[in-house]
Structure 1
């Protein structure tokens, strides 16, 4: 049995998948499936399904012929080693029409929701001292793009 998250696109599945794999280590396009015949969003031979890996996780990008509405019920979550990685991904994913949301969440130019956060955040939020966790949580809630140094300052008090 194979499990993969499937992302719906109007016609830009391959472009989105290629963009994503260029951002994240241990990522690759595995297969581009051309449509065997005409479909509501395109013609025979157009890419209809792209299988790819992001950070070792399996994904599919499907051209469905109409724009998707992802809402916020699911997102691609990326734990970043440092602020430079957070900043690099944030800039790339919000470029070209992406939208910042809050607390490390954004939508990329295709409307796909992402969470970009420091690897340290879960540890800081689970600190055995409830006052530390509360300060980190309160600081995080004031941020759009997460600031690791500010979160660590909040933890230190």
Structure 2
């Protein structure tokens, strides 16, 4: 199986979620099922059915996280040589040369990308254009609405 890159931060967050699901949610749901079962007839017991449904969702998420982590190649950006080049895990500040808008992105794995948090997948058009470049370089990103010209302002390994 092919490994997928993941930042240490992303792997730690998934591990924390997994621990919470296994140590807190699983026992809580098992207790809710036991309490609901004590209420009698299971056919018309909404509490029981809701708890069983929640149990299924939690178990599915546990399996999903375990699978993701089993395929993760965890990369700690702080331990990589700081060459000034943009690599997986870098935090990059760019300025749009047409609008002068400045934005900072962190280049992460597919599983951790979150555009609202400015975490972009290493496979995104922006990240693909940035990887290998360094401060002061200009890049052209082919976006659905046309090409966007950026200048790289800062590269951080945080």
Interval of TM-score (by shorter of Structure 1 and Structure 2): under 0.3
Higher relative contact order (CA 8 A, sep 6+): 2
Structure 1 or 2: more helix by fraction: 2
**TM-score with structure 2 length normalisation?**
0.24
Q: Higher Cα Rg: structure 1 or 2? A: 2
TM-score by length of 1: 0.24
